[in-house]
Amino acid sequence: MKSKYAIIAAIALLVLFPLMVGSDYYRHIFIIALMWVVIGSSWNLLAGYTGQISFGHAIFFGVGAYTAGICTTQLGISAWWGMLLGGPVAMVFGFLMGSICFRLRGSYFNLATLAIAEILRLVAKSWTSFTEGMMGILTIQTFRSKVPYYFLALGLAGLCVFTIYKIMKSKWGFYFVAIREDQDAAEALGISSFRYKTYSLLVSSFFTGLAGAFYMNYMGFIDPDVVFSLYYISIMAILVAILGGAGLIWGPPVGAFIMVLLQELFRSAFFGMAPKWVSNAHAMAFGILVIVVIRYMANGIVGDWPKIHGLWAREKVIPSATSGN
Amino acid sequence: MEMFIQMLVAGILIGGVYALIGLGMTLIMGVMRIINLAHGQLMMVAMYITFALFQFFDLDPYFALLVAMPCLFLLGVVIQKYFLNPLLKIDSVIPQNQILMTVGIGIVLTETIRFIFRSDYKSVKTSYSTATFMIGNISWNVPMFVAFGLAVLLTTGLFFFLLKTDTGRSVRATAQNKDAAMILGINAEWITQLTYGLGAAMAAAGGTLLLPIYYLFPDVGGQFTLKAFVITVLGGMGSTVGAIMGGLVLGVAETLGATYISMDLKDAFGMVIFVLVLVFMPGGLKTLTKV
């Protein structure tokens, strides 16, 4: 019950945020964080719930972003059409990727997804006549104010989290978890693991593609090294989910906000309070964060909350046997 | 035709060095069942050690091998002991957290080097960097040739170690069945550290041998990590003979692809081969040899 109020309060706070805070800088950070909520949650659906750890979510993000960009450069229509097309096009790529990668398990699967993302990055870089190559795609933003983008991102994040929540309450959700826990046992019970993994991947790629299309519209500039980046998209998606708590519905949203804020703290050298070299070290901070999170918070902030809470709560907390919701 | 043979020679020479890098990765893969995504970054650290020795002490890159390899061995042991082994004891939803840890280590290594040496491109210019000799109509690049020779030597040494020494046998036993090896009294914890150290040292050798002909910058590691795992999968995970063949195949495919198809897509060929192998020959090249 208590958590229900907390969620309502958090949503109310997010809706009111752009009305209360006038600074475009803070609005920008929140927009990016909301975008990461979408990507992290979609990664979580495929990896945290279905157990297929993708190292290549940049595929869908990049494809979504390039769909929106190419709408303007090649088709001559508004990049907003990308918001309609980006998701479905990413799903097509998701289907192709699934038909290749779902034959593989464990490390093989991880690496195949990583390799496909790298192939797409290199193709986007060298196919200059279609993607503009290294020059990237530049469009003009529609709105000067951040507020419309903010609510779009909020809507997208809400839709994504809600959809995943609903899926996980349905029959699909139980199938997904069954596949994560033991694929062979799930097969033996008559669950077609290939089909349900593909469903999971399709939903996941759809939302990541939408986030990509949103990024193109919001930032107005993309290039292959940014949107197909291994470290700053694929790995970041994993980190966002793990930091918050993989396999938990509220994990990635919490992880996304903390991750983006932390990155911004380092990038701006603690808002200018720390010496200048701190901002040069923001990539290093990212790496250290990866190590610390995996070493000490393998179940994420939401997953390990009883443990973290226990650090200052006097009474001993007994972790519940059934974690998650 | 002459052009083709020339490219084939160049491909095989570079392939020998790739094989060395792939061997390190394959060792780690075989014993710990994880892909070491910091492999290229370890190699990059070795390259910078060699570069620093050359810059400040005027030490020839080939002698620097004697410094860079032990350094990287130590670094590898430390990484395995304090960062990777503790993860085995942690329960988490994500079983692949060791792989992610290597990614984190890779980033930290890259950024540390960037902090010390800055991002500029560096190179080691030796008197023999551009020297060539001719056999028939085919020209052979001297540093590449030496690198190939040393790579063969180190590979032979590694095979001797794995096949003939007690410790080598323990490494292979741990790779085959860790629990059974532990029951037989093998200190598996130490073996994993040793293996990671050896893997890192092999990568160091590969990096140092490439240095006279390659340029150097902190992000150079990423592309070699990708190459190393292409080789590992191409050869069949955990197969040392496979890794050598994988390295040669990758070297030849890249050189021929760059010559006949497109220079820009040079790095993509490896990836395409990788995906094709995964789909059509999941066991890798080792299924052909039965070794």
pLDDT beyond 70 at B41: yes
Residue A323: the pLDDT is 47
> How many Å apart are CA B221 and CA B92, to the nearest integer?
29
Q: Is A127 on the interface with B (CB under 8 A)?
A: no
pLDDT confidence tier of residue B289, bands split at 50, 70 and 90? low
Cβ contacts of A253 within 8 Å, gap of 6 or more? A37, A40, A41, A157, A161, A244
Q: Is residue A117 within 8 Å of residue A228, measured between CB atoms?
A: yes
> What is the number of alpha carbons within 13 Å of residue B182 lying toward its C-beta?
7
Residue A140: the pLDDT is 81
**Across B175-201, average pLDDT:** 89
pTM, rounded to two decimals: 0.84
> How many Å apart are CA B45 and CA B72, to the nearest integer?
8
> How many Å apart are CA A176 and CA A197, to the nearest integer?
7
Residue B290: the pLDDT is 55
Residue A313: the pLDDT is 65
Residue B276: the pLDDT is 81
Q: Is A242 on the interface with B (CB under 8 A)?
A: yes
Tell me which residues of chain A, numbers 179 to 208, contact chain B at a CB-CB cutoff of 8 Å.
180
Mean pLDDT of chain B: 85
Q: Please give the backbone phi and psi of residue B215, each rounded to the nearest 5 degrees, phi first.
A: -95, 170
pLDDT digit string (tens) for A241-284? Answer: 888 888 888 889 999 998 898 888 888 777 767 676 776 777 78
Cβ contacts of A3 within 8 Å, gap of 6 or more? none
**Across A67-83, average pLDDT:** 85
Comparing CA positions, the residue from A161, A147, A170 lying closest to residue A7 is A161
Contacts of B104 in chain A (CB under 8 A): 287-291, 294
Contacts of B111 in chain A (CB under 8 A): 281, 283-284, 287
pLDDT digit string (tens) for B74-132? Answer: 999 999 998 888 887 776 666 677 888 888 899 899 988 988 888 888 887 777 777 77
pLDDT confidence tier of residue B143, bands split at 50, 70 and 90? confident
Measuring CA to CA, how many Å separate A191 from each of A152, A168, A178, B72?
37, 16, 9, 47
pLDDT digit string (tens) for A183-227? Answer: 889 989 888 889 999 999 999 999 999 999 999 999 888 888 888
pLDDT digit string (tens) for A105-151? Answer: 777 788 888 888 988 988 888 888 888 878 888 888 878 888 889 99
Comparing CA positions, the residue from A184, A148, A325 lying closest to residue A247 is A325
Residue A325: the pLDDT is 42
Residue B71: the pLDDT is 93
Residue B92: the pLDDT is 67
Asked if A288 lies within 8 A of B104 by C-beta distance, the reply is yes
Q: Which of A116, A283, A291 sits opposite B83 (nearest CB)?
A: A291
Contacts of A53 in chain B (CB under 8 A): 94-96
Residue A157: the pLDDT is 93
pLDDT confidence tier of residue B273, bands split at 50, 70 and 90? confident
Q: Is residue A249 within 8 Å of residue A33, measured between CB atoms?
A: no
Residue A1: the pLDDT is 53
Q: Is residue A41 within 8 Å of residue A161, measured between CB atoms?
A: yes
Q: Which of B99, B115, B279 sits opposite A100 (nearest CB)?
A: B279
Least reliable range by pLDDT among A265-274, A315-324, B22-31, B193-202: A315-324
pLDDT beyond 80 at A67: yes
Residue linked to tokens 């060298």: A126
pLDDT digit string (tens) for B201-253? Answer: 999 999 998 888 888 888 888 888 888 888 888 887 777 888 888 899 888 88
For β-strands A221-222 and B215-216, DSSP reports them as unpaired
* In chain A, % of residues over pLDDT 70: 93
Q: Is A112 on the interface with B (CB under 8 A)?
A: yes
Q: Is A299 on the interface with B (CB under 8 A)?
A: yes
Residue B136: the pLDDT is 75
pLDDT digit string (tens) for A289-313? Answer: 888 888 887 777 887 777 777 776 6
Residues in chain A, overall count: 325
Residue A203: the pLDDT is 94
Residue A213: the pLDDT is 92
ipTM of the complex: 0.79
pLDDT confidence tier of residue A315, bands split at 50, 70 and 90? low
Residue B291: the pLDDT is 47
Q: By three-state DSSP, how is residue A276 classified?
A: coil
**Across B164-181, average pLDDT:** 88
Q: By three-state DSSP, how is residue A128 classified?
A: helix
Residue A199: the pLDDT is 93
Kindly tell me the burial class for residue A104, based on how many C-beta atoms sit within 10 Å of its own C-beta (0-12, 13-18, 19 or more).
middle
pLDDT digit string (tens) for A21-48? Answer: 778 888 899 999 999 999 999 999 998 8
pLDDT beyond 60 at A324: no
